[in-house]
C-alpha cells in the first residue's frame, strides 16, 4: 500500500469511529456499568493514544505531544508503555471532556498523516500504522457492543439509531456440509495484513465431520429455554452451571419477557423477538449447553476454518470448542506490540467469523477472536457440528 492510499485508508477508518459516535449525547459518552465495558469517549481516546504513543512518540522526534497525562489515562493494558488507569475506572474519567478528546483526535490525525507522507519513514512505522488501523476497527466493534450493553440497562430502552437493529438477520441456507477426514492446512497464508496469532500456517488432521450451514435462531434457542434448559444441570459444564446459578441467568443477554412475550433490546430500541432471526449475545457456556441438549457439539476452530469456504459466515462471532492457544512456532514480539495477543492465551475460547458489528474489510476466515466463556455482550452466535 502506497503512502497516499495508506493515509486515505487511515482517515476513512478514523472518520467511521466519529460516525458511530455521532448519534450520542455527551451524557452517553462516559458511562461504564461493568468493568469489561468501556465508555464511548474512552474508545475514541484510546484508539488515538495508540497512534500517538506507539508511532508518533517513537518515530517522530519533533512531535508535539498533545497532553502528557493522556498516556496514563488512555493506556489499556500495555505494561511496556507504563502505568495506566484501572480498567474498571474508565467511566470515572469525566475530564477531559468529549470535545477535548475530539480535538486530541484531530491533533494526532494531522500529525500522523504528515508523518507517513514524508520521505524515509521506517518500515516498522508503516507496519504499526496498519496495526493501529486494525486496532481501531476492533474498537469500533467493541464500541457498538459496549454501547448496547450500557443502553440496554436503561429501563427506557433508548434508541441509539433507528436503522441500527443489527439483529434482524436470517439464515439463507439449511442442511449440513460434510468434510472428509484428512490433513488440512490452517492459518494465514496471504500477503495482506493479519494478526500474529494467525501465524504460522500448519497442518492438522481432522476426522470426518458435518457442520451446519445455518446458525441457530431465536426460535431454536427458545425451545431450549422452554424445555428447562437453564434449569437442568445435566446440560452444563460445571463452570457454566456455576455461572448460571450465581448470576441468575435465564436467557440470552438483552432478552426481556414482557406481558407474556419475548422481546429483544436492539440499538434501534426494544422489539418483539422474531423466531427466525439469528440468535445473538450468547456466552460460550450457553452455546455448549445448547449443543449438548441438541446431542451435537460446537466445531473446533480448525473444523470451522476448513469448512468456511463452504458456509456463509460473518453475521455472528461463532463460538468454537477450541481454547485460545498459540500456533506452532508462535513467538511474542518484543515491546508493546508483543502484548497485543500472546499474553491473553489463557482461559479464553476462540470465536470465528466476524459479525454484523464488525467493520468492513476486517474479517478473514483465519481471524482468531477470543473471549472468556462467560461473555455475552458481543454479537456472538452458535453453529453446530456433528
Q: Give this prediction's pTM.
A: 0.97
**Gap between the Cα atoms of 297 and 385, Å rounded:** 5
User: What was the pLDDT predicted at 334?
Assistant: 87
Confidence of residue 1 (pLDDT cuts 50, 70, 90): low
pLDDT given at position 123: 93
Identify the CA nearest to 279 among candidates 386, 378, 350: 378
Residues 131-186 have pLDDT tens digits of 999 999 999 999 999 999 999 999 999 999 999 999 999 999 999 999 999 999 99
Q: At residue 364, does pLDDT exceed 90?
A: yes
According to the model, what pLDDT value does residue 120 have?
83
Instruction: For the chain, give the percent of residues with pLDDT over 70.
Output: 100
Three-class SS of residue 262?
strand
Label the pairing between strands 317-323 and 269-272: unpaired
Distance CA 136, CA 139 (A): 5
Q: How far apart are CA 43 and CA 30, in angstroms?
A: 10
pLDDT digits (tens, 9 = 90+) for 115-130: 999 888 899 999 999 9
| Bridge partners, residue 178, by sequence | 210
- SS3 assignment, position 381: strand
Closest CA to 159 of 281, 298, 28, 68: 28
Provide mean pLDDT across the span 29-36: 97
CA-based torsion, 107, 110, 114, 116: positive or negative: positive
Residue 16 has pLDDT above 80, yes or no: yes
In angstroms, the Cα distances linking 10 to 132, 143, 164, 254 are: 9, 18, 24, 34
For residues 46 and 50, give the distance between their C-alpha atoms in angstroms, rounded to a whole number: 6
Amino acid at each position: 500500500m502506497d503512502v497516499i492510499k495508506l493515509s486515505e485508508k487511515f482517515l476513512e477508518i478514523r472518520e467511521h469511529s466519529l460516525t458511530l459516535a455521532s448519534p450520542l449525547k455527551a451524557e452517553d459518552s462516559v458511562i461504564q456499568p461493568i468493568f469489561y465495558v468501556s465508555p464511548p469517549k474512552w474508545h475514541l481516546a484510546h484508539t488515538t493514544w495508540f497512534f500517538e504513543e506507539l508511532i508518533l512518540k517513537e518515530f517522530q522526534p519533533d512531535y508535539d505531544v498533545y497532553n502528557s497525562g493522556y498516556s496514563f489515562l488512555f493506556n489499556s493494558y500495555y505494561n511496556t508503555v507504563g502505568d495506566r488507569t484501572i480498567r474498571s475506572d474508565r467511566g470515572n474519567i469525566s475530564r477531559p471532556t468529549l470535545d477535548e478528546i475530539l480535538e486530541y483526535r484531530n491533533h494526532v490525525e494531522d500529525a500522523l498523516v504528515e508523518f507517513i507522507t514524508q520521505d524515509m519513514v521506517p518500515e516498522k512505522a508503516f507496519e504499526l500504522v496498519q496495526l493501529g488501523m486494525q486496532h481501531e476497527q476492533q474498537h469500533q466493534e467493541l464500541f457498538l457492543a459496549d454501547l448496547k450493553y450500557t443502553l440496554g440497562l436503561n429501563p427506557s430502552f433508548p434508541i441509539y439509531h433507528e436503522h441500527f437493529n443489527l439483529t434482524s438477520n436470517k439464515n439463507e441456507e439449511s442442511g449440513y456440509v460434510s468434510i472428509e477426514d484428512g490433513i488440512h492446512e490452517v492459518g494465514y497464508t496471504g500477503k495482506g495484513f493479519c494478526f500474529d496469532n494467525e501465524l504460522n500456517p500448519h497442518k492438522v488432521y481432522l476426522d470426518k465431520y458435518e457442520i451446519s450451514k445455518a446458525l441457530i435462531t431465536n426460535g431454536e434457542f427458545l425451545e431450549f429455554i422452554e424445555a428447562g434448559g437453564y434449569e437442568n444441570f445435566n446440560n452444563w459444564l460445571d463452570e457454566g452451571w456455576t455461572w448460571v446459578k450465581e448470576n441468575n441467568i435465564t436467557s440470552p443477554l438483552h432478552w426481556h419477557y414482557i406481558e407474556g412475550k419475548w422481546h429483544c433490546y436492539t440499538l434501534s430500541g426494544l422489539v418483539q423477538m422474531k423466531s427466525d432471526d439469528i440468535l445473538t449475545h450468547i456466552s460460550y457456556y450457553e452455546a455448549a449447553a445448547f449443543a449438548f441438549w441438541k446431542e451435537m457439539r460446537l466445531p473446533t476452530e480448525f473444523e470451522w476454518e476448513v469448512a468456511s469456504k463452504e458456509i456463509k459466515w460473518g453475521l455472528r462471532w461463532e463460538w468454537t470448542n477450541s481454547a485460545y492457544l498459540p500456533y506452532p512456532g508462535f513467538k511474542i514480539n518484543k515491546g508493546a506490540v508483543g502484548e497485543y495477543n500472546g499474553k491473553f492465551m489463557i482461559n479464553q475460547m476462540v470465536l470465528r467469523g466476524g459479525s454484523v458489528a464488525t467493520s468492513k474489510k476486517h474479517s478473514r476466515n483465519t481471524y482468531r477472536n477470543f473471549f472468556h466463556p462467560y461473555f455475552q455482550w458481543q454479537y456472538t452466535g452458535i453453529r453446530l457440528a456433528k
